[in-house]
Amino acid sequence: MITFHNPLHQGHAPVHEFFRGERVPCFEKPARVDYVEEALRARGHSMLAPDVDSSPVLAQVHAPRYLGFLQTAWQQWLALDPVANATVQPFPSVWPVRTLRSDVEPDNFVARLGLYSMDNGTPMAAGTWAAAKAGADAAASAAARVAQGDRAAFCCTRPPGHHAGPDFMGGYCFLNNAAVAAQALRNQGARRVALLDVDYHHGNGTQSIFYARDDVLFVSLHGDPRTEYPFYLGHADEVGEGKGTGYNLNLPLPAGTSAATWFEALEQAYTRIGGYQADALVISLGLDAFEGDPISRFALASADFTRLGERLARLGLPTVFVLEGGYAAAELGTNAVNVLDGFEQA
């Protein structure tokens, strides 16, 4: 399968995140994508650099003031203390929750960082903007291929994107690559796009971007937000709003769900997508439903990812795969390429 990789992903290499008040090494690390690229090469998939500028599409799925902030965030951080901050990661410490105002941008950098973040679990580094932008370019490039008639394409990138909303980062995500792919497909002639998110974590950002729209159907299988990140979105009663009502389907499953039950829920997703008459499909391909994932609690085996690819192929739609999560880094390559090979061999 044609793969667009992200030549700049290694510039996004924050060192630590927080877990229960302690600093721990980042789970979302460059080695993840190195393993996927290695597996792609080993199984003969061709890899290309992005060849589309996603800027116009980014402006359709993210707010201008958020994009403006993100693009220069690292320079703004350095401006506070060019020497000390070069080796320190910025973290938000205050957020505009209920009753506080989010319409006025504070002058204070850390306050702005909180305004544009949903958590303190999304560390930045010097190369974050360049890496995130190149990833969005890879998503737009994969979408362009599929719009031009390719059966499928894979966007192999990190940082992931599905937690990034219209105007905020979160959950290791900065720019919503899957939303870019879906919007790019719409721009290039697809009347309806189905977006299926199989990452363990609910794609709150993607849901929010398309919540009031009927031209992009969002369907997600994920750990129940009562116990799993992102906690504050992803329940079954979220069905869309306005003309988007009926075009959002959440299938939350309890932590510990078996592969058999997961595939049963996948059939419900297929039924909804089948009834939508989409012209194209985007898969938010998180691989953290894997039994060996260190931060997730579903139980898919590596062979189940082949089965997932086979099942997705039977929808018969032009398909863009976009890499999201998956933190069992050494197995990530096998699991990702199993999906692609299952899809191509079905």
Min dist. Cβ of residue 286 to ligand OKP (A) = 5
User: CA-CA distance, 123 to 169, in Å (whole number)?
Assistant: 10
Q: Which does 205 bind (CB under 5 to 8 A by kind): Zn ion, ligand OKP, none?
A: none
Closer of 289 and 320 to ligand OKP (Cβ): 289
Distance linking the first and last C-alpha atoms of the chain? 13
Q: Is 199 in the site for Zn ion (CB under 5 A)?
A: yes
Alpha-carbon gap, residue 222 to 300, rounded angstroms:
13
Is 37 a binding residue for Zn ion by CB under 5 A? The answer is no
What's the closest the beta carbon of residue 198 comes to ligand OKP, in angstroms? 11
Catalytic residues: 163
Q: Closest separation between CB of residue 22 and ligand OKP, Å?
A: 10
The residue sitting closest to ligand OKP, measured at its beta carbon, is 325
Using CB under 5 A as the binding rule, whether residue 200 contacts Zn ion is answered as: yes
Question: Rounded to 5, what percent of the chain is helix, strand, coil?
Answer: 40, 15, 45
Decide: is 201 part of the binding site for Zn ion (CB under 5 A).
Answer: yes
φ/ψ region of 316 (left if φ > 0, alpha if ψ in -120 to 50, else beta) reads: left
List 217's β-bridge partners, or say none. 194
Q: Which is nearer to Zn ion, 317 or 322 (CB)?
A: 322
- Compute the distance between CA of residue 132 and CA of residue 121 in angstroms, rounded to an integer: 16
Taking CB under 5 A as the criterion, which residues in 269-288 touch Zn ion? Answer: 286, 288
Q: Is 224 in the site for Zn ion (CB under 5 A)?
A: no
Is-contact 208 164, C-beta < 8 A? Answer: no
- Rounded CA-CA distance 171/278 in Å is 29
Q: Which two tokens stand for residue 146?
A: 């599929």
Contact, 222 vs 297, CB < 8 A?
Answer: no
Stretch that binds Zn ion, among 6-14, 69-77, 101-109, 199-207 (CB under 5 A): 199-207
Contacting residues toward ligand OKP, per CB under 6 A: 19, 121, 160, 163, 171-172, 199, 201, 229, 286, 288, 295, 324-325
Considering the complex, what minimum distance in angstroms separates the CB of residue 190 from ligand OKP?
A: 25
Q: Which is nearer to ligand OKP, 190 or 195 (CB)?
A: 195
Residue 166 to residue 173: CA distance in whole angstroms: 12
Q: Which is nearer to ligand OKP, 256 or 294 (CB)?
A: 294
Q: Can you tell me the distance from the alpha carbon of 194 to that of 247, in angstroms, rounded to the nearest whole number? A: 9
Q: Taking a C-beta distance cutoff of 8 angstroms, is the pair 327, 36 a contact?
A: no
Smallest distance, Zn ion to C-beta of residue 200, A: 5
Binding site for Zn ion (CB under 5 A): 199-201, 286, 288, 325
